[in-house]
Structure 1
């Protein structure tokens, strides 16, 4: 029996577009952690270029403009490498509100993904789980074009 649609409990809250990304750092927008019980970032490596690496971590800030930005402790993935046969693999980072520096007023989080050495196919998505208010779909990123429920 269907009681809740998945889109009511999980929302797309951040995206790094899947593409042939040049060596650089890419980030999602800032996500208000207070809107969600937890977040899950999924980093997706496609075909990695020769000697390429991908690093990813969560960063935290005191507001939606990035004030005081610093790393969320222990959120970095193990580096994905072309030499380590990590093409076509994924890495997952999970985060709860209490993982942020709440004492210093950190309320927002974003995913940061760094591609190094060579252009590589990669992307990422951040999902928010168990919204504190209303269905998750109300807080989806503007890039979500459609939700189809069967």
Structure 2
């Protein structure tokens, strides 16, 4: 560990779901090339959930950055957040390691998928990339990153 590095050099913002009152349906981050990172951390935050709403999230994998052959990564889905479960204003973290992807079929891209069921709910998510393979993690930030202040 190098104490001289800023945290932003160790973690890249690899994908985002901007804060939104999401209607029933699915929203995803972009595909992230896992050859750039050793691990990803998905952070899902929900605000007020709609009446009878559910929020589910999972990590998906694909063989290219257009989503070819997309399928779920086994074991990387959350327990549904619900209004009845008093899950308003909660966060969920999902870890992904490169070795979690299906190597037999050349899966190397991953993304976070969030599905809101029944009623609109406030959600946002950040997909952080760690253990950059080459250079600083910030070299692989999503194009939506506007500024890094040191």
Question: Structure 2: how far apart are the matches of 1:65 and 1:19?
Answer: 24
Matches within 5 A, 1:24-103: 24-103=25-104
TM-score, normalised on structure 1? Answer: 0.97
Structure 1 unmatched ranges of 5 or more = none
Question: Structure 1: how far apart are the matches of 2:3 and 2:79?
Answer: 38
1:40 Cα deviation after fit: 0.3
Question: Structure 2: how far apart are the matches of 1:148 and 1:120?
Answer: 31
Q: Flag as ranges the 4+ runs of structure 1 deviating above 4 A.
A: none
Describe the superposition over 1:114-136 as per-residue Cα deviations: whole angstroms up to 9, x where unpaired: 00111111111100001010111
Question: Structure 2: how far apart are the matches of 1:59 and 1:146?
Answer: 28
User: May I ask how many residue pairs the two structures share in their alignment?
Assistant: 149
1:17 Cα deviation after fit: 1.0
Question: Structure 2: how far apart are the matches of 1:24 and 1:10?
Answer: 29
Counterpart position of 1:18: 19
Q: CA RMSD in A?
A: 1.0
Question: Structure 1: how far apart are the matches of 2:56 and 2:37?
Answer: 25
Question: Structure 2: how far apart are the matches of 1:54 and 1:27?
Answer: 13
Structure 2 unmatched ranges of 5 or more = none
TM-score, normalised on structure 2? Answer: 0.97
1:3 Cα deviation after fit: 0.9
1:145 Cα deviation after fit: 0.8
Counterpart position of 1:104: 105
